Amino acid sequence: MDKSSKPASKHTAAVTSQHPEIQGFGDFERATRGLVAQHPTGVIEAYGVVVVDINRYSFIEAGKPNPDTVHPALWRQAQLNAIHGLFEVAPGVWQARGYDISNITFIEGDTGWIIIDPLTVAPTARACLDLANSSLGHRRVSAVIYTHSHTDHFGGVLGVVTAEQVAAGKCRVIAPEGFLAETVGENVVAGPAMLRRAAFQFGPLLPAGERGHVDCGLGKAIPFFQSGLLAPTESVHETGQELVVDGVRIVFQLTPGTEAPAEMNFYFPERKWLCTAENCTATMHNLVPIRGALVRDALAWSKYIAETVEMFGTHVEVQFASHNWPTWGNQEINAYLTLQRDLYRWMHDQTMRYANHGLTATEIAERLRLPDEFSKVAHTIGYYGDLVHNVKAVYQRYLSWYDGNPARLWTLPPVEAAKRYVRLAGGPDQLLEKAREAFDAGDYRWVGELVGHLVFAEPSDERARELQADAFEQLGYQSQSATFRNAFLYGAQELRFGTPPPQRTPVGRFLEATTIEQIVDSMAVRLKDEEVAGLGVTVRLVLTDRDEQWTVRLSNRTLSATAGEGDAVADATLTLSAGALLALLDGSASVDDLLGDGTVSLSGSAGAAEAVFGHLDFFQTFFPVVTP
């Protein structure tokens, strides 16, 4: 099998040589405006590991024409996202961009820095804070604001402040209502599957280059390091709520169900600054990311942007977000917000218009084309989200994955269906012959679908894997969306080189900051129900370092928890710290181990405790996706 990347085919070159008309060439001035300093090497390391190396993208030069292996619109976005450094947005507010997929924003308070969104991992956040302190004068961190519940906006918090400083009241941590529950729901309950799928969306394992990784649409790349979390000390619970944070007045607007289930915009009335979080950035966004998430509400998203304009549009002079670059000037900002508002409304309304005519999601996605009002304006083009996928998200939100045809209500599982399709085609040789004809004709979508059956029916057939990889590669080169490009190219890479070796998914990544109920919910997803048939026990947990009691019930092959002692007589009571509880969850210690070293004390039945903690599954980060 030829495992090398291939050049662009003549069909792909014909696509990537077409340069669409894009309005927004002021973006390069906006993306470079206010540069104060840059990281001295562009390489951020921690514990001997390279977390970020922006030099990997030195092949993306400003003004250089796109290679034929990169869509011209995506190449333009990649050039913009390659611009890195610490930038003054306005007097009193700075952003570090380009050292993570997201931006970190520094606001000068009366006594210290107010930090908005401390990036994905601690090393990048710490490096950006060091850059701000060395360039602008050292300040302590007086407050951290999480705009929403996605990892790249809170995961680096331990790089800018410690848990001890927050516990001592030296730093406020502010987030929208529901932040912690949504963080756990997305990153713990569905975390292992989502982490695996994220490898396709963001392409962190792809080599950087003209035939590999060029961008993520929202930013350059995901850093290599583990994320952390500190729980908020206070929540914003309603639109219009005002807080004075280290002397700076902020007016908040809750926007739940938009880009994240818990999210907020906010405005600085004395400064006329508007932070639009991730609700308005320099790209069409996802209505459901291909990594997986709750489907987002396009209609609500549009209406919240309309509310933003109504609340703040009259006076705003500077708009900045958690990704990409700012916009200046009241007229420019209002025009920008209006197009962003109308983009999500158009996708919603036109999808449901055709759905009500009886078209399925795939049929609507094939029919709808982004009109000139959006397709010729840079910030509404799908560099990150993609219209094809967004249409299906709107359809799914209202009508589910099922298109109404009973032929697709209870289909065969992929491997069994694949074997039958291969037999129907006359066997592997005949299927491959037809697929090669389609490849030569540039019909790469059909090649990927057709050969996929042979890959699943006979995964050891190198000819099938090679041809599907070649088709995926050409589709990646042609993709305007960075996420589509990354998914196709990474799929090709795994077909050629195999799935990376499995590793156990870390359990305690966010649980230190979560409630005991949320911890038990994460346990319940891991319960091996086949091992607990007929078991029914009640275990009381006494958390010594949280001054809490919880009652955990194993009943009918499920786990649940309620606060307090409850009415049921406990079969066992465990007195332990939250850290000891996490040791039980991650498998680093058993109940017997902790009893033996005195970390845990037990009254009642040790067997009851073992019934709760001794039947938990563990997940692997790399399960097969493009192969069975």
Which whole number is the average pLDDT over 121-150? Answer: 98
CATH number attached to the domain at 514-613: 3.30.1050.10
C-beta separation of 51 from 41 below 8 A: no
Q: What are phi and psi of 348, to 5 degrees?
A: -65, -55
> Per residue in 307-320, pLDDT tens?
999 999 999 999 99
Helix H or strand E encompassing 576: strand 572-576
- The total of other beta-carbon atoms located within 10 Å of residue 416's CB is 12
Tell me what pLDDT residue 549 has: 92
Element (H, E) at 106: strand 104-108
Strands (DSSP E) contained in 110-246 are: 112-116, 140-145, 172-176, 234-236, 242-245
Residues facing 273 on adjacent strands:
268, 318
Rounded average pLDDT over 218-247: 96
Instruction: Please say whether the beta carbons of 272 and 317 come within 8 A.
Output: yes
**Phi and psi torsions of 182, nearest 5°:** -75, -35
Q: Average pLDDT, stretch 294-307?
A: 97
So where are the chain's domains?
10-15+31-387, 411-497, 514-613
User: pLDDT tens digit string along 68-95?
Assistant: 999 999 999 999 999 999 999 999 999 9
Sign of the CA dihedral running 398, 404, 407, 409: positive
According to DSSP, the residues that pair with 275 across neighbouring strands are 266, 320
- pLDDT tens-digit series, residues 317-344: 999 999 999 999 999 999 999 999 999 9
Judged against a pLDDT cut of 90, whether residue 570 lies above it is answered with: yes
Q: Centre a 10 Å sphere on the Cβ of residue 7 and count the other Cβ atoms it contains.
A: 15
Nearest one of 559, 527, 539 to 606, comparing CA atoms:
539
Pairing of strands 318-320, 273-275: parallel
pLDDT band at 503 (very low <50, low <70, confident <90, very high): confident
Res 510 pLDDT > 80: no
The CATH number for 411-497, chosen from 3.20.20.140, 3.30.750.24, 3.40.50.620, 1.25.40.880, is 1.25.40.880
Quick one: pLDDT at residue 582? 83
- Global pTM reads 0.95
Number of C-beta neighbours around residue 624 at 10 A: 13
Task: Provide the CB-side half-sphere exposure for 591 (13 A, CA).
Answer: 21
pLDDT at 438 over 70: yes
At residue 507, the pLDDT reads: 62
Q: How far apart are CA 243 and CA 246, in angstroms?
A: 10
- Tell the CATH superfamily of the 10-15+31-387 domain: Metallo-beta-lactamase domain (3.60.15.30)
Please enumerate in sequence order all residues whose Cβ is within 8 A of that of 246, keeping only pairs 6 or more positions apart, or say none: 109, 110, 111, 112, 114, 142, 143
**Contact of 214 with 60, CB cutoff 8 Å:** yes
**What is the residue type of 377?**
V
Query: Which pLDDT score is estimated for 621?
Result: 84
Evaluate if residue 190 carries a pLDDT over 90.
no
C-beta separation of 176 from 264 below 8 A: yes
As a whole number, mean pLDDT of residues 212-239 equals 96
